[in-house]
Structure 1
Amino acid sequence: MKSFACGDVVPGCGRAFTADDEDGILAQVAAHAAADHGLVDVPPALVAQVRARITAAA
Structure 2
Amino acid sequence: MKRFACGDVIPGCDATFSAPDEGGIFSQVGAHAASAHGVPEVTPELQAAVRSHIRTV
After TM superposition, is the score higher than 0.5?
yes
1:6-49 C-alpha deviation (Å, 9 max, x unpaired): 00000000000000000000000000000100011121101100
- Over the residues paired in the alignment, what is the CA RMSD in angstroms? 0.6
Identify the residue that residue 23 of structure 1 maps to in structure 2.
23
Instruction: Give ranges in structure 2 of 5+ residues lacking alignment.
Output: none
Amino acid in structure 1 at the alignment position of 2:33: A
How many correspondences in the alignment? 57
The one-letter code of the counterpart of 2:51 is: R
Q: Which runs of 5+ in 1 are unaligned?
A: none
Determine the C-alpha separation between the residues in 1 that align with 2:28 and 2:42. 12
Alignment correspondent of 1:53 = 53
The letter for the 2-side match of 1:32 is H
TM normalised by structure 1 equals: 0.94
Could you tell me the percent identity over the aligned residues?
56
TM-score, structure 2 as length reference? 0.96
